[in-house]
Copies of this chain bind each other. A is one copy, B any other.
Amino acid sequence: MKNVIIGQSGGPTAVINSSIAGVYVGAKACGAEHVYGMVHGIEGFLKDQIVDLDQYLDDETKIALLKRTPSAFLGTCRFKMPAIGVNDEVYEAVFRNMEKHDIDTLFYAGGNDSMDTVKMLSDYAQLHGKRQSFMGVPKTIDNDLPVTDHCPGYGSAAKYIATTLKEVIRDNESFGVKKPTIVVCEIMGRDAGWLTAAAALAKGEDCSGVDGIYLPERIFDVDRFLDKVDYLSRNKSSVVMAVSEGLKLEDGRYACELGADAQDRVDVFGHKQLTGTANALIKLIGQRTGCKVRAIEFSTLQRAATHIASLTDINEAFTAGRMAAEAAAAGETGEMVVFNRVNRRGELYRIEYSRFDIHQIANGVKEVPQSWITGDGDDVSAEYLDYARPLIQGELYPFWVNGLPKHLILKELIASNAVQP
């Protein structure tokens, strides 16, 4: 292992920087001379925008601060690699820049779309007899990567969602009026309901929990939803529902398209940009029940709230990065690090790290099992709770400076963000 480079891609998480730290520490331990970072992922690397991470991570305090820094320290991008043979200039630029800096391994931390980049680059290398290696490091709050038991980023987002819902429920319950305020909380997750399922974690001895959990894995029946809310509004003094942004109706439309605000934008990967599910639903609820209504979108807060990240998640994200470095040093390529849960149900939580062929992972989506969706499609099972509870354990407190969490900044990122006139 000579020099290596790491990039971050897709939506940030609370712990993606812990994976950067893990790759850095692992690669250094495996003898890497330089560990570079791409500024804004592969898009920046195409323009040779890189930094030498030794400048930023040369002591343990800085690595500790990086673990406490939200969002993508190196910057991120949403860039889709072209089909091989169509626009090979993109590939040639990547390999040219790798050779220029004598980089033999490229690490990429991301979700489904980002793993497609790893797959394409390793395919291209194989096709053209290139010697460089490509390793994927899992990252997604959505928790929807195939093969791996779960994904770094999920535990922290789940901890944020459950903590915040406990607070929201408390707030709403304190009024105790006959006609309750009906709160609809909108949670991220386009195709998979893992994040919305995390709402179930709020329930406990000291919290009555949310009153309904609606995942995109089930067709959303608006009329039954409204019937339920209407019933609750007449029998409870607080109603809090958790809905996925990606809820779909029987006719194929998204639930957010029910509203007048329906947006129909598409990102570079062809995914519809969804927002407004909760806002669309509270209008219908208000009309039906006459109650006061409130929509709360957890928005980017749920992926950026490193101040309340799960220590388990941080440690696993770090180890995933370190394992990727060790695997690459051992000659592996075209793989992603995966987590295998080795304890049985009821036993103490334990995972083992391995790697898996990137072709089985890229562009795939792992949904919440149908058998874990219970009730009238409005709750999740004890199996889910057993699965998720270990992932939210532990805290790593911020470095507080002047009352606020301190973050590590990359000056090259700030510079690259200045728009050229």
A contacts, CB < 8 Å to B: 8, 12, 39-40, 44, 69-72, 75-78, 159, 162-164, 166-168, 170-178, 183, 201-202, 204, 206-208, 234-238, 260-261, 265, 273, 275, 279, 283, 292, 294, 296-297, 299-301, 303-308, 310, 389, 392-395, 397, 400-409, 413-414, 416-419, 421
Contact = CB atoms under 8 A, between A and B. Distances in A.
Contact of A403 (B72, B299, B393, B421): B393
17 contacts: A12-B171, A71-B171, A159-B403, A159-B404, A162-B403, A167-B301, A204-B401, A206-B407, A206-B408, A237-B418, A237-B419, A238-B417, A261-B283, A279-B279, A296-B297, A296-B301, A394-B403
Contacts of A305: 164, 167
Contact of A167 (B39, B76, B307): B307
A167 B294 contact: no
Contacts of A414: 173, 208
A172 B402 contact: no
Contacts of A265: 292
Contact of A310 (B300, B394, B403): B403
B71 A167 contact: yes
Contacts of A419: 178, 234-237
A419 B238 CA distance: 10
Given A417-B238, A419-B234, A167 B306 contact: yes
Contacts of A208: 414
A71 to B, nearest CB: 4
Given A166-B405, A236-B417, 9 more contacts: A71-B171, A167-B301, A171-B300, A171-B304, A173-B414, A206-B406, A235-B421, A296-B297, A392-B403
A72 B174 contact: yes
A170 B408 CA distance: 11
A356 to B, nearest CB: 27
A58 to B, nearest CB: 18
9 interchain residue pairs of minimum CB distance: A392-B403, A167-B304, A71-B170, A237-B417, A72-B174, A171-B304, A71-B174, A71-B171, A393-B403
Contacts of A237: 417-419
Given A170-B70, A237-B417, A301-B296, A175 B403 contact: no
Contacts of A8: 174
B12 A174 contact: yes
A397 B159 CA distance: 15
Contacts of A170: 12, 69-71, 304, 407
A403 B394 CA distance: 6
A407 B207 contact: yes
Contacts of A408: 206
Nearest to A155: B403
A234 B418 CA distance: 10
A404 B162 contact: yes
A77 B237 CA distance: 12
A194 to B, nearest CB: 16
A397 B397 contact: yes
Given A204-B404, A207-B407, A408-B206, A75 B174 contact: yes
Contacts of A168: 300-301, 304
Contacts of A202: 404
A75 B176 contact: yes
Contacts of A71: 167, 170-171, 173-174
Given A166-B407, A393-B402, A176 B417 contact: yes
B306 A308 contact: no
Nearest to A413: B176
Contact of A300 (B159, B236, B296, B421): B296
